[in-house]
Homo-oligomer: A and B are copies of this chain.
């Protein structure tokens, strides 16, 4: 297996508070959090959400003010983390948020 592109399943169940996180669970959770630990990627998530839940690269390059390869790279990170999906229709690639992903992460972080 390569180290590259494994569409990680979004976070499912890690108490965080309540019981100490195992090293493996911590690594898994950190990979998801890392995907959001960048201002550009946070803006991309926000832009896609505010764009009707779906946007192509060409819709995002100008708002974030970065080159197209860089935007594609960030979107790939988000897809690999299980936070977004990619749907290529014709010439365009449409990116959309995975419905429950952010909510799941939020729930894991703030376990009641």
Q: Please list the residues of chain A having a beta carbon within 8 angstroms of any beta carbon in chain B.
A: 15-21, 23, 26-27, 29-30, 33-34, 36-40, 42-43, 45-47, 49-50, 63, 97, 102-103, 105-107, 109-110
Contact = CB atoms under 8 A, between A and B. Distances in A.
A89 B109 CA distance: 29
8 contacts: A20-B43, A20-B63, A21-B42, A26-B40, A30-B39, A37-B37, A105-B109, A109-B109
Nearest to A103: B110
A19 B42 CA distance: 12
A105 B102 CA distance: 11
Query: How many monomers of this chain does the complex have?
Result: 2
Nearest to A42: B26
A90 B16 CA distance: 29
B39 A23 contact: yes
Contact of A20 (B17, B20, B50, B106): B50
B36 A21 contact: no
Question: Which of A19, A40, A106 has the most chain B CB atoms closer than 10 A to its own CB?
Answer: A106
Given A26-B42, A27-B39, A17 B49 contact: yes
